[in-house]
C-alpha cells in the first residue's frame, strides 16, 4: 500500500485528491494539509509516506521550501508538484528542491494516478504544457541581428571570415565602394569601430558561426 501526503490550500482539491487516491487500489491518504505549518507539524511527528502532492503557493509559506524539507526528511518519498503555476523558473526550482514531477491542477484524475505510478518507477511525469515550457526555457535566446539587412549580414559573414573588401565585392557582385558603405552601416548598428570588434560582436550575438 503506497501512502500519500497531500498539501494544498484549496479544500475541494484536497478532498478530491484524497477521494481519488483512497478509491485507487494500492493507495491510501495519510494526511491532507492546507498550510505549510500543518504540513511541517505532520512531518515533525515522523509519519512516513511514499508519495507527496504539493502546491507551490500556500497561504503561510512557499511550497518550494516545503518540498525541500520533505525531500530531506523523507528521502524515499516521490514528490510531485500539483499547482496552477507554470512559470519555467518555478518548474526548475521545484526540481532542484526535490520534486520529481510537475502537474497542473487541471490534470485529469486518471493522469494524476498514472503520474504517481511513473514516479514510482523512476519517471519524471509532467503536464504537456509544463514539458513544453521547460524545453522552451532551455532554448538559446532569439538572435539579435541589430537591424542588419540581409546584404549587410552577408558582408558581415565574409568580414568575420577574413575576406578583404575587394574579395567581398567580387563575391557579391558589387562595387568596393558599396561594400565600404555596408561596412560603415554594420559598424554603426553593432556599435563597433573595427573589423576585429565587429567579428567579436557578431560571434557574441551568434550572427556568424
Check which CATH number belongs to the domain holding 160 and give it: 1.10.10.10
**Claim to verify: residue 133 and residue 110 sit in the same structural domain:** yes
Domain count, the chain: 2
Q: Which three cell numbers stand for residue 13?
A: 482539491
Q: Do 126 and 197 have their domain in common?
A: no
pLDDT for the residue numbered 141: 53
67 and 127 both lie in a single domain: yes
pLDDT score, position 202: 87
Mark whether 130 and 170 lie in a shared domain: no
Here the CATH number for the domain that contains residue 57 is 3.40.50.2300
Mean pLDDT in each 10-residue stretch from start to end of the chain (209 residues)?
Answer: 96 96 94 97 95 96 94 96 92 95 95 95 93 79 71 92 92 92 92 90 83
**Do 20 and 120 belong to one domain?**
yes
Same domain assignment for residues 98 and 184: no
Which residue range(s) make up the domain with 178? 150-204
Amino acid at each position: 500500500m503506497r501512502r500519500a501526503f497531500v498539501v494544498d490550500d484549496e479544500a475541494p482539491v484536497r478532498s478530491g485528491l484524497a477521494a481519488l487516491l483512497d478509491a485507487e487500489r494500492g493507495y491510501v491518504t495519510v494526511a491532507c494539509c492546507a498550510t505549510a505549518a500543518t504540513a511541517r507539524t505532520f512531518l515533525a511527528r515522523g509519519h512516513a509516506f511514499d508519495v507527496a502532492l504539493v502546491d507551490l503557493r500556500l497561504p503561510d509559506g512557499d511550497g518550494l521550501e516545503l518540498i525541500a524539507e520533505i525531500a530531506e526528511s523523507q528521502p524515499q518519498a516521490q514528490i510531485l508538484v500539483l499547482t496552477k503555476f507554470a512559470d519555467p523558473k518555478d518548474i526548475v526550482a521545484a526540481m532542484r528542491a526535490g520534486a520529481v514531477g510537475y502537474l497542473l491542477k487541471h490534470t485529469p484524475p486518471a493522469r494524476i494516478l498514472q503520474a504517481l505510478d511513473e514516479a514510482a518507477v523512476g519517471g519524471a511525469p509532467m503536464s504537456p504544457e509544463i514539458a513544453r515550457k521547460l524545453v522552451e526555457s532551455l532554448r538559446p535566446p532569439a538572435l539579435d541581428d541589430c537591424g542588419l539587412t540581409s546584404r549587410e549580414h552577408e558582408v558581415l559573414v565574409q568580414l568575420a571570415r577574413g575576406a578583404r573588401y575587394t574579395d567581398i565585392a567580387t563575391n557579391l557582385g558589387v562595387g568596393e565602394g558599396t561594400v565600404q558603405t555596408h561596412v560603415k552601416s554594420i559598424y554603426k548598428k553593432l556599435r563597433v569601430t573595427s573589423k576585429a570588434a565587429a567579428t567579436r560582436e557578431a560571434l557574441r550575438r551568434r550572427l556568424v558561426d
